[in-house]
Amino acid sequence: MEDVAIVPLNKVCQSIAETREAINDLKAEEAGYEQTALSLMRRNERTTYQHAGVTLVRVPGEEKLQVKTTRERSATAEAPPTDAGPAPGDVAESAANDDTSVEG
């Protein structure tokens, strides 16, 4: 009985295969961006760099790049800015996390 095709399950399997292919392509693309970033950081003698919710850190002793992202980036990109000012908890949070300087 397992030889009978289940069309909806076939469609789900096809979607999974396509999604994994897209993920693999994006991972390869990201690896290229990371190599370019590492080269630019070496050329500009930077050990860290931050922009657009992404922090790049050169690993000491190794020629690798550590990439960190913040969740604020995705939330900020989706929600348009308002003129109402910060929410009650935002002021304390932004003051506590005000370490936005980049060393290098």
> Tell me, what's the pLDDT at 2?
67
The verdict on residue 87 lying in a domain is no
pTM to 2 decimals? Answer: 0.60
- Which token pair is 100? 């936005």
Tally of structural domains, the chain: 1
The verdict on residue 46 lying in a domain is yes
Residue 35 pLDDT > 90, yes or no? yes
Q: What percent of the chain has pLDDT over 70?
A: 66
The verdict on residue 69 lying in a domain is yes
The verdict on residue 85 lying in a domain is no
Over the chain, what is the mean pLDDT? 78
Using alpha carbons only, give the angle 47, 50, 59 rounded to the nearest 5 degrees.
30
Which range of residues forms the domain containing residue 30? 7-79
Band of pLDDT at residue 11, cut at 50, 70 and 90: very high
The verdict on residue 96 lying in a domain is no
